[in-house]
Amino acid sequence: MRQFATIMLLLVAMAGCNKPSRVDQYRSEKHQQDSIRLEEQVRSLAFYESQLETLMPVADSLLPLFNYERNEKYQDHGYYVAKGSGSLRVMVRDDGKDLLLYREGKRLTYPNPTLKGREAEMVERAEHLQVTMADIKELEKRIQRTSLEVQKYQKRLQKN
């Protein structure tokens, strides 16, 4: 009986040797998850870059209608100022966060129902530029973050 028990223990021990260890299973699953995440990040990066490629021509068509002004000494951000605005000064911050209207040095509320004709068109162009610039800045941030994620997953997969 004792011999039979010893033989059974040896058989059970040998059968367990052929199975992959839990550590190997974990590494395999982690590698698969990282591969999937890498593919997702690469797709996201391609999507963001395609969106940026569609927005850049829109911004390029609007920018000739504005002059860029920035005082390096005092300002962190510059402003795109509408050309030929007469008494109305329309300004868009270069990161798309602000749209400012000034008439004779006084700030106007936005949106302003008193603007008519050419002034209203200028404000509409400035709104379009503001949205476009904000979208471009957001896409640039997303591209940067996603590129870092892609690099991280590529390094992880190279280690394994």
- Is 103 in a helix, a strand, or coil? strand
Does the structure show a pLDDT above 60 at 16? no
Residue 19 confidence (pLDDT):
65
3-state SS class at 1: coil
Domain-located, residue 131: yes
Mean pLDDT of the chain: 83
Contact 157, 118 (CB under 8 A): no
Instruction: Check residue 13 and give its pLDDT.
Output: 61
pLDDT beyond 80 at 144: yes
- How many domains does one find in the chain? 1
Neighbouring CB atoms inside 10 A of 79's CB total 20
Look up the domain containing 108 and give its range.
19-159
Q: Are 68 and 80 in contact (CB under 8 A)?
A: yes
pLDDT digits (tens, 9 = 90+) for 58-100: 999 988 988 888 888 887 888 888 887 677 888 888 888 888 8
In a domain? residue 155: yes
Query: Quick check: is 8 in a domain?
Result: no
Q: Is residue 69, in this structure, part of any structural domain at all?
A: yes
149 part of a folded domain: yes
Number of neighbouring beta carbons within 10 Å of residue 154: 14
The per-residue pLDDT for range 23-64, each reduced to its tens digit, is 888 888 888 888 899 999 999 999 999 999 999 999 999 889
Q: Is 81 left (phi over 0), alpha (psi -120 to 50) or beta?
A: beta
Residue 8: per-residue pLDDT: 64
CB under 8 Å to 81, separation ≥6 — which residues?
Answer: 66, 67, 68, 69, 89, 90, 91
Residue with more model confidence, 96 or 11: 96
pLDDT of 109 > 80? The answer is no
**Quick one: pLDDT at residue 15?**
58
CA 89 and chain centroid, separation? 31
- Residue 10 located in a structural domain: no
Distance of alpha carbon 47 from alpha carbon 53, whole angstroms: 10
